[in-house]
Amino acid sequence: MATSNVVCALVISTLFHFVLVPVSSREIHVLKKCGFQAIYQLGDSLADSGNLIRENPLSPYASFPYGLKLSKPTGRCSNGLLMIDYIAHSTKLPYLDAYLNLVRNSSGGRGGVNFAVAGSTALPEKVLLSKNIMNLVTNESLSTQLKWMSTYFNTCSKDCDKEIKSSLFMVGEIGGNDYNFGFLFHKTTEEMKALVPEVVKAIKDAVVKVIGHGARRVVVPGNFPIGCFPVYLSQFQPNDTAAYDEFKCIKGLNSFSRYHNELLKQTVEGLKKQYPDVIIVYGDYYKAFMSIYQNAQSLGFDTKSIQKACCGTGAGHNFSLTRMCGAPGVPVCPNPDQYISWDGIHLTQKAYQHMAEWLINDIFPKLQCSS
């Protein structure tokens, strides 16, 4: 998902159905069996734990109500914790600190480093500008994060090589902002579909680079079903009821997400063959998110509010591009744990927790850790 005002184009297609079962919270600690010494995260606002606000202290993510469930705003684009925090908790490692925090404090990362930047794109700024697409949030792309990672590994201790081989690398989610900014600048659906192979190649190149650093276990997450998010639903309101699925998500937008995800899955399969000694796992954020929708009531979410932002204002989906969460006078719902969407773009801590539980249960056997 994007971290700024986004406008999307509608791609007409049908949505396939699958049944997903929620995961018990007691299973969230299984990753400790892998014995990971550290986690290294590349990505965007789904994972950023403070890099953007270090770069731009005036970002809304640097102030309440962001971080409302925490002791202070940390730069996480939610009311509390993110999926990467629950993944770290599952491995019994500390929450990852943002790379730019470590640079400022001249300290090493205890238990790993978070290189993700809210608003970051998979493709470099110059490449997007050549296509008349502008990043409105940050100049830092995936290539910048990879440079930060190289700098960090080049300056770490002699034990670094051993630690890397016993670490978990999260390459993404990344790429959603490339599409969102493209749609914002009125690119057509066909133009955006043509961009997908370039985005996926950038992700592939990132995986190759982390393997070059010595990574032996890599998770490569896909994109969300963007047609279920308030930011998109509030911008596109098709009159044809056939344009929506049974969850009132826009089929065409979800189809676009699946197009990206399918190409990414194929790429992951190719990387597995190219690097047979490395465990590379596709992280199915799409299904993890849909597991919440399909089990919203049993998970404690208000089924009447699953497509409404907790922090926001505006008719229908409680979201407005002109008055977003964090702006003066924008209200916050009294019961965030009953909402899936926090600000119309990002999810609540509760939603991220359930997604993380599903994801951890899905990737654990694929990581081939000793039990």
pLDDT at 339 over 70: yes
* C-alpha to C-alpha distance for 284 and 292, rounded to whole angstroms: 13
Which among 283, 256, 280 is positioned nearest to 268, based on CA atoms? 280
Query: Which residues are catalytically annotated?
Result: 45, 343, 346
Give residue 120's identity as a one-letter amino acid code. S
Q: Is 18 part of any domain?
A: no
Segment 129-150 shows an average pLDDT of 95
Does residue 8 sit within a domain?
no
- Asked whether residue 207 is domain-assigned, the answer is yes
How far is 248 from 181, CA to CA, in rounded Å?
A: 24
Query: Does some domain include residue 5?
Result: no
pLDDT in tens, 77-121: 999 999 999 999 999 999 999 999 999 887 767 799 999 999 999
Please check whether residue 45 is in contact with residue 82, taking contact to mean a CB–CB distance below 8 angstroms. no
**Residue 224 near residue 286 (C-beta atoms within 8 A):** yes
Q: For 25-45, what is the mean pLDDT?
A: 87
For residue 22, being part of any structural domain is answered with: no
In 3D, which of 168, 140, 119, 50 has the Cα closest to residue 346?
A: 119
CB 268 within 8 A of CB 220: yes
Residue 15 lies in a domain: no
- The total number of structural domains in the chain stands at 1
3-state SS of 241-274 is HHHECCCCCEHHHHHHHHHHHHHHHHHHHHHHHH
213-231 pLDDT, tens digit per residue, is 999 999 999 999 999 999 9
Kindly give, in sequence order, each residue whose CB lies less than 8 Å from that of residue 10, ignoring residues fewer than 6 positions away.
189, 236, 238, 243, 250, 252, 253
**What average pLDDT score do residues 150-154 get?**
93
β-pair type (217-221, 112-114) = unpaired
Q: Is the pLDDT reported for residue 4 higher than 90?
A: no
* Lowest model confidence (mean pLDDT) among 10-19, 44-53, 57-66: 10-19
76: containing domain: 30-366
Q: Is residue 138 part of a domain?
A: yes
- Domain with residue 331: its CATH number is 3.40.50.1110
Per the domain annotation, does 356 fall within a domain?
yes
CA nearest neighbour of 331 among 307, 301, 347, 308: 308
